[in-house]
Structure 1
Amino acid sequence: MLATRPLRQGSASKKYDVLTALGVHACAGSKFQQRLILRFMTAITARYNWQRDELTMGRTELARLWQVDERTVKRELAKLKACGWLCVKRPAARGRVTAYSIDWDRILSDTRPCWDYVGSDFTTRLSTLAGAAQPADQPDRTVIAFPAAASPSDTEWDHALALLHRADPAFHANWLASVQRRALSQGILELEAPTAFQAEYLNTHAGARITRAVQTFAPQVHRVIVRPA
C-alpha cells in the first residue's frame, strides 16, 4: 500500500498529487459523490497521519468537522469503507476511537480516468506513483483481450465481465466483481450493485465501457443501467 511506505523525498508533492486526484474525481462526479469526497478530503487534511497511515477521529469529532449529525457520519464512513478507500486499522476500545487506514492504491486506481483532466505531466507523475504500488506480477496491459467462447449456460453479462476483467483486472476487482445481472428487457440490461454509491459511480464513469463490453456478446443491448440493491 502506498501510504505504508515512508514518503521521504518529494513527499509533499505526492500528497498534493493524490489530493488533486481526489478533487478532480469529485468534480467529475455527482453532487452526492462531491459531498462525500469533500468530507473525506477534509478529514484527511485535518487529522490524517501520513507517516503512520492512520486517521483517528471519533464520530463526534467528525460530526463537528463535517457539520452534520453522527448518523450521517456513520453512513458516510460506511460508504467510504464499501468502496474500499477507508479500512479499519484498529477498532475502538474504551477510551480510544477507531483508527482507520487509507488504501491509496485503490484511490489511485479509481481516480485514474480523471488524471488527464489535470494534464499530461500530472498523469505521468501519478502513473509512476501508481506503478510503484503495483505488485510485481501485475498483468501486462499491452496484451489485447479477446472475448471468450460463449457457453449456453452463461449470460451476456457473464461474458462481458470476463472481457472487462482481462482488459482491466484492477477496475474489475474494485467495481465490478460484486455486480449482478438483474434483467434484460427491450434492449436495456439492468445490473445490480451492492451500494448506491457504487451504482452511481458505474453509471457516471463506466457506463459506456460496460455497454461496449456487453454489446460484444449481445448487440441488441443499447443501454446498461446499474441500480443499487
Structure 2
Amino acid sequence: MQVAKPVGRSAPALKYDILSALAVHALSGDKHRHRSILRIMVLVTTRYNWRSNELSIGREEIARLWSVNERTVKREMAKFRNAGWITVKRPAVRGRVAVYEIDLKQIMLDTVDIWPVIGTDFQDRMQQEPAQATNVVPFQSRPAIPPPEGEDVWGQVQSILHGRDPELWASWFQHLNEAERAGGVATLIAPSRFMADYIAQKWAGRLLAVYTRVDPSIRSLRIEAAE
C-alpha cells in the first residue's frame, strides 16, 4: 500500500480514515495502548503538517499537550520510533526544536487487523493503490475458487493454504505467484507493494512452513511487488 499524501479534494476523507484506524486500533487493546495511541493522535491533530509530512515540536511542548513530564515524552517517543511510526527528520539544535516525520504506511500496516471492524468499504479504500497506480488489491468477501491440485510445488503450497483457511487464502495468498525457486529461496510476487509488505510481515512464517513441508530444500522466502 502506498499511502497518498492527504492533500487535494480527497484529503479530508483520507485523514479521517487514518485517524479512524488509529482510534479503533487503540480501543482494541489495553489501557496502555489506549493512552499511547491517544498521545500520537494528539500530535497528529494539533501539530502535524500533512502536506509536508513534518511534525515540528519540542519535548517541552509535547509534555504540556500530554500533561506529563519530559521523561515520559522521551520514553514514549522512543517507542514510536522503535515501532517505525515516527522518525527524526532533523534533530533539535540550539534555538530550534526537532522535526519528525510520521510513517503513515507503517501505521496502516500495523492497524490492518482492525480494518474489518470499521467495515468492508474501509477495507476496499485502504487496499487500493493511489489513483495514479494500476495495481488494485481486491478484497474478497467470500472464498474464491480453490486452486487446482497439481504436481508442481507452488500448486501444492496453494492447495494446502486454501485447505487450512479458505478465507485467508482468498483475501491474500491467492494473489501471489511464484517467480523463482533456487538456492533454498522461494521468490513470490504480489500485485502491490502493500500486499507484499503485509504478507511478509504477517504471514511469512505460515508460508515458509507450508513450503518446507512440500519442498524441504526451501529455507527462506522473498516476497516482492510486481513492477
TM-score by length of 2: 0.61
Q: 2:176 aligns with which of 118, 133, 143?
A: 143
Deviations 1:6-58 (A, max 9, x none): 61012111111110011112222333322211110111111111122111111
* C-alpha distance 26-133 of structure 1, shift in aligned 2 (>3 A): farther
* C-alpha distance 12-143 of structure 1, shift in aligned 2 (>3 A): same
1:81: how far off? 0.9
Please, which runs of 5 or more residues in structure 2 have no aligned partner?
138-171, 214-227
Amino acid at match of 1:143: L
Q: Which runs of at least 4 in structure 1 moved beyond 6 Å after TM superposition?
A: 133-139, 148-151
In structure 1, what is the equivalent of residue 27 of structure 2? 27
1:120: how far off? 1.1
Distance between the aligned counterparts of 1:77 and 1:114, measured in 2? 24
In structure 2, what is the equivalent of residue 17 of structure 1? 17
In structure 2, what is the equivalent of residue 116 of structure 1? 116
* C-alpha distance 79-143 of structure 1, shift in aligned 2 (>3 A): same
In structure 2, what is the equivalent of residue 50 of structure 1? 50
Distance between the aligned counterparts of 1:27 and 1:134, measured in 2? 34
> Secondary structure of the residue that 2:87 maps to in structure 1?
strand
* C-alpha distance 89-166 of structure 1, shift in aligned 2 (>3 A): same
Distance between the aligned counterparts of 1:138 and 1:123, measured in 2? 12
Distance between the aligned counterparts of 2:74 and 2:113, measured in 1? 29
In structure 2, what is the equivalent of residue 94 of structure 1? 94
> Secondary structure of the residue that 1:132 maps to in structure 2?
coil
Q: Which has the larger radius of gyration?
A: 2
Is 1:105 the counterpart of 2:105? The answer is: yes
Whether the aligned pair in 2 keeps the contact of 1:105 and 1:133 (CA below 8 Å) is no
Deviations 1:152-197 (A, max 9, x none): xxxxxxx9xx79x878541366x5xxxxxxxxxxxxxxxxxxxxxx
Distance between the aligned counterparts of 2:197 and 2:136, measured in 1? 9
- Paired residue total: 173
Q: Percent identity?
A: 42
Distance between the aligned counterparts of 1:135 and 1:90, measured in 2? 31
In structure 1, what is the equivalent of residue 197 of structure 2? 170
Amino acid at match of 1:170: D
* C-alpha distance 48-111 of structure 1, shift in aligned 2 (>3 A): same
* C-alpha distance 169-124 of structure 1, shift in aligned 2 (>3 A): closer
Distance between the aligned counterparts of 2:19 and 2:51, measured in 1? 16
